Amino acid sequence: MIEAVALANVTVREARREDAARVAWLIMQGAAKQSRSDAEIAAEASHPSYLEAFDEVGASPHNTLFVAELDGKVVGTLQVTLIPGLINRGRKRAKLESVHVDPALRGRRIGEAMVAHAVAFARQSGAGLVELTSNKSREAAHRFYRRLGFDQSHEGFKLEL
């Protein structure tokens, strides 16, 4: 079970619209096969489509986008999607997506604080299971999730459309 992590100057909160470009930047920095320069990532993160996507996520009652702040700067992000279902007498699942911490700040337990917050949020929202996927090439992320108690119980599949 994941315990709450208290870190000085780290706050996990719901993302605000003005965080959209920074969230996009964090996600692109954490991408498994990154071949863009920092300038290209910054330019891409400011594209208006990220604000549109942010608005769509925010309009969904089943999705919540969180950010972690360190000394007032957004340094991490993750999205929680609550999924109702019929399995196990209607057990609701929480899916964690796009868990990313600024690469320069990894190893400081920021990701652990974010995941602990997301698990508490899922539990309070009635979820009986938390799941996530991680790119097979992100071995450090896999060790991180296992350390937090996640079990690699399934093999994931995706179909690009």
pLDDT tens digits for range 22-65: 999 999 987 756 677 778 888 888 899 999 999 999 999 999 99
If pLDDT is split at 50, 70 and 90, which confidence band does 11 have?
A: very high
The pLDDT of 118-143, averaged and rounded, is 94
**Alpha carbon 106 to its chain's center:** 14
* φ and ψ at residue 101, rounded to 5 degrees: -125, 145
Question: What residue ranges define each of the domains in the chain, with the CATH number in brackets?
Answer: 10-147 (3.40.630.30)
pLDDT higher than 80, residue 143: yes
With a pLDDT cut of 70, the percent of the chain lying above it is 93
pLDDT higher than 50, residue 1: no
* Tokens 């108690």 -> residue: 149
The pLDDT of 135-139, averaged and rounded, is 88
Question: pTM for the whole thing?
Answer: 0.89
The pLDDT of 95-122, averaged and rounded, is 94
Contacts of 77 (CB under 8 A, 6+ apart): 15, 19, 22, 23, 26, 27, 65, 66, 67, 68, 98, 99, 100, 114
What's the chain's average pLDDT?
90
